[in-house]
Structure 1
């Protein structure tokens, strides 16, 4: 602890007459580290790193959001990494060392990427719709209720309902994650314990439907979790299995939260709000239950056949199935994808490689369909901002920025420098495409090379929280 008073204590005891003068006192009467009232700083005018403005220490006290911004700017370019793998094809990944199961997954992914020109637009629509978890009449009305009300309680209960619905629609996926987590734990326990865990897992009903969680939740809470707790207590195992139990408890909580009765009760609570009834009328809980029975839970959970094959492709690479030399590249791809799905990322993110009639390209796009605010609010004009990066084999990387609204439209295209002589043809082709689809553009700008690399450079909304108070726990 710092010696604030700058005094010394004699060996003989606390005698006021023997207190020595501070040798630093009186040398400089000027105030050290004066505080600038125009800025919010520490009391001693030090920076967050513990030094002054000219002396920065290596360790930084950064907020969660600040870390997110730094990662977005520095994360490996998914377009570059995945395009390299996709363009080189299966030969680059197999090399004669891949197992049969891994080879099937890789081949299935490359086959799913093959399509014709007329298949591309439906494919894009399918991927965009699968990325929107909450769509349909019920959620449109919930958005309207959220935008219209000033009640904090109503907004909190709407979000609570959505959370429960989300966990219910993802019930099968969460249950499979629970099963895989427990199976993975078997690799870290003794043989006798492993056999006991396998017997307990046989009681887990993997065929249970979404919302039907009672049996499995009881089994997990009353048998499996206590059994694992006793194992750790008896063997003092504080290693990997203890960390996996932490993950298991989170999954169990989500699974139980998705019980159908919980969802119905959350909806029943909403019917007590006048702001809710304004958009839902006199809809009863029974009527809502009837609507719920007609919902496609696979679609609500974001299930998508192409995405599943893409995930199998990533799992194979991350686990080393495509060779240890490629493992790091798959880790970089996974890191980039997860970052784009962060709670701090207020954008729709799509990434997909396609093989159109033998021509391979990889595209990644970020979409803000309503950058001016909430489209549910009356009088608010909707403006969409889109940032696309696409890499075409043998040509290079393109970057496209599109701002489109009721009264404003602008398009910027940055193309590879080796195509500079073809700029006239590119411009002519773009105009033809825009006219074909009745897309009115007031400003069209083309440039060879350059352009933004990160969505942070394109979407100011990402940094909206930059000036708010945020802490790291």
Structure 2
């Protein structure tokens, strides 16, 4: 953006703080970890070991991810219990939650027909990446075949513009939230002036009024904050919030339809002499489909309510003791979208036949390179997915599913009291698979003595620590 906001006040040197300290001593030498030192004539043997130590170091990004993953309670312990409590309250007394309660809206969306549950799962699967669909599959194939860094840069610019264009509403809402938070972190007089400016920000129809919102930010709000920072010595949380505001403002600055069209034309122009006309026709057709108004019409009611609930920190009707629960839910959802997560995580909370159900499904991601390494003629690797679900009044279940073609192998762990009905349960599961066009393979039932899938998920993450997924 042409206007820069200076967020660091100048530091005076009148007190001699820039002069060397004559009494300063050199810092003691820290002991070096032998595993990270390349020994003579052993560099090749130690390359993998050194890389592994660097990746798994406690201060590495991956190490922090694993540490946070293990410290954060599972969603079944936070979101599941929160929803179960809300359902119980509504069953006992419908008036226990106010009509305007976000938690009530979330709980009311759990009662759904079977078709709606399937639509919810499909919606989550397709929506696991913004860049899903034939256009992005085609761009990935073109980029892989070309091996051209300049092409990759143009693809990246197009993806950034595409992301910004379809996120205008969310970005504008985030900017409004940033301004509200800054208003609570600065003196009352300045906060009042900022509130008057923030009222001019249009959040009802941000796509149509993108230009006016940008002008407001560039010409009024950011200069006002720049003047405040220049005259104050406020180095508190306000500075961090301003940094978030600037980041969101920079995203909004490249989110126009004009910028998206410009980046698309730039990409097509570069590809014009590098790919054939049939490929260009496909690209144009897929682009029109990707930016059509129909794209944004499908909406998951549950997740819209969940995001609204989390953005309010639990809402005004939630007790203070629940704040940590909402923080844990938010952290879990963020970890699910980490580049280190080799699974697509799908949630299925619902009230089925009068019983509350909270299910989680982890589907292993498979990259095209893994598929290419499979020898010709060899049976394709099965698609693996893992389920955990809790059914009200029945207990906790786990399932491991392997899908090879249309054949399904299923291992189900259930509460001990259901093992007496092992035969009918296995038969019913087989019939369900056949009814849905699948072939029933090996179906095994066992007693679920303790949860195993959460530990298995962590082990799978550790096994694929060098595989980074960069879908958004």
The two structures share one fold, judged by TM-score above 0.5: yes
TM range (shorter): 0.7 to 0.9
Deviation of the 1:358 alpha carbon: 1.1
Structure 1 residues 132-178: Cα deviation after superposition (integer angstroms, max 9, x where no partner): 42333423322332343322332332233112201110011101110
Q: Secondary structure at the match of 1:442?
A: strand
CA distance in 2: counterparts of 1:275 and 1:409, whole angstroms = 46
Deviates more, 1:237-246 or 1:265-274: 265-274
Q: Where does 1:40-439 land on structure 2 (aligned, <5 Å)?
A: 61-90=58-87, 100=98, 104-210=101-207, 213-271=210-268, 272-273=270-271, 277-278=275-276, 281-283=279-281, 294-296=292-294, 298-299=296-297, 303-315=299-311, 318-319=314-315, 321-368=317-364, 370=366, 373=369, 381=380, 383-406=382-405, 409-439=408-438
Cα separation, partners in 2 of 1:90 and 1:42, compared to 1, 3 Å:
closer
Structure 1 residues 228-256: Cα deviation after superposition (integer angstroms, max 9, x where no partner): 12112212111122111011011011111
The answer to whether the 8 A contact 1:410-1:442 is kept is: yes
Q: Secondary structure at the match of 1:454?
A: helix
Structure 1 residues 299-334: Cα deviation after superposition (integer angstroms, max 9, x where no partner): 5xx853321112234345645632123332222222
CA distance in 2: counterparts of 1:117 and 1:407, whole angstroms = 22
Aligned residues: 424
TM-score (norm 2): 0.76
CA distance in 2: counterparts of 1:325 and 1:413, whole angstroms = 36
CA distance in 2: counterparts of 1:209 and 1:319, whole angstroms = 24
What's the counterpart of residue 445 of structure 2?
446
Cα separation, partners in 2 of 1:99 and 1:120, compared to 1, 3 Å:
closer
TM-score (norm 1): 0.76
Structure 1 residues 280-299: Cα deviation after superposition (integer angstroms, max 9, x where no partner): 64459998886666244635
Q: Structure 2: 5+ residue runs without aligned partners?
A: 1-25, 30-36
Cα separation, partners in 2 of 1:131 and 1:289, compared to 1, 3 Å:
closer
CA distance in 2: counterparts of 1:137 and 1:2, whole angstroms = 57
Cα separation, partners in 2 of 1:42 and 1:311, compared to 1, 3 Å:
closer
Q: Secondary structure at the match of 2:253?
A: helix
Deviation of the 1:456 alpha carbon: 5.3
The answer to whether the 8 A contact 2:135-2:287 is kept is: no
Cα separation, partners in 2 of 1:200 and 1:276, compared to 1, 3 Å:
farther
Q: Structure 1: 5+ residue runs without aligned partners?
A: 5-32, 49-59, 469-473
Aligned-residue CA RMSD in angstroms?
4.0
Structure 1 residues 66-121: Cα deviation after superposition (integer angstroms, max 9, x where no partner): 221233344212113333233333566999998847x6222221111012334322
CA distance in 2: counterparts of 1:67 and 1:152, whole angstroms = 31
Q: Secondary structure at the match of 2:363?
A: strand
Deviates more, 1:68-77 or 1:163-172: 68-77
